[in-house]
Amino acid sequence: MHFSSKLIEDAVHEISKLPGIGKKTALRLVLHLLKEEKESTENLATALVKLRTQIKYCKACYNISDDDLCAICTSHRRDASTICVVENTPDLMAIENTAQYNGVYHVLGGIISPIDGIGPSDLKIAELIDRVKGSEEVKEIILALSPTMEGDTTAFYITKKLKEFDLKISTIARGVPVGGELEYADEITLGRSIITRTEYPQD
């Protein structure tokens, strides 16, 4: 693409580094910013730099946070006896958005994946063990990891490490998605949903 301006070229170049944004979209965004007030570009730039330089990781659960401890860990409304172990912040946000969970979290910062060179020591697993060891309060660990080979490996590893503690360890249910047609569910999921069937509520 031809830009007659170096300023535009630089801005397009930087924006199109973002995932899912190509040169055409970047140019559209740049031309939009030029039409708007100067302040809106400045606000955008400030918010991005502030975010990147001021963000912290919660010292308890390793969720991204504005302070040393995140809003979830410091909330009195959350049940600290249940820890939900997730791979990363987007997964945590996805669970938060269901509004079905009231415990706290532990963000691993990844998943065991030998192919990507990620082992248990690269994740916050030791920190999870320390957290359980240092607290009388924790009663249950929920493993909310992706139902993939890597997720299963990570769950298996964590379960082994937590064996010595008197804890309930659970994993999120795997089965047919709500609203999905049974006919289109894959065999493994459907098979698993029969094995791990739950009692039908009667009353």
Measured from the CB atom, the residue of 21 and 169 that comes closer to a copy of itself is 21
Binding-residue pattern over the window 85 to 114 for a copy of itself, x denoting contact by CB under 8 A: ----xx--x--xx-----------------
Site of tokens 């031809």: 2
Strands 64-65 and 56-57, bridge-based pairing? antiparallel
Q: Does 22 bind a copy of itself (CB under 8 A)?
A: no
Half-sphere exposure of 61 (CA within 13 A, CB side): 26
Least CB distance to a copy of itself at residue 37 (A): 9
The residue type of 147 is: P
Contacts of 111 (CB under 8 A, 6+ apart): 87, 118, 123, 145, 146, 150, 151, 153, 154
Quick one: residue 144, left, alpha or beta (phi over 0 = left, psi -120 to 50 = alpha)?
A: beta
Measured from the CB atom, the residue of 117 and 201 that comes closer to a copy of itself is 117
196: DSSP letter: T
Q: Taking a C-beta distance cutoff of 8 angstroms, is the pair 144, 90 a contact?
A: no
Which region among 41-49, 111-119, 138-146, 193-201 touches a copy of itself (by CB under 8 A)? 41-49
Least CB distance to a copy of itself at residue 53 (A): 7
Measured from the CB atom, the residue of 78 and 192 that comes closer to a copy of itself is 78
Q: Does 84 bind a copy of itself (CB under 8 A)?
A: no
Q: Which stretches of the chain bind a copy of itself, using CB under 8 A? A: 1-8, 10-11, 13-15, 17-21, 25, 27-34, 38, 40-55, 63-66, 70-72, 89-90, 93, 96-97
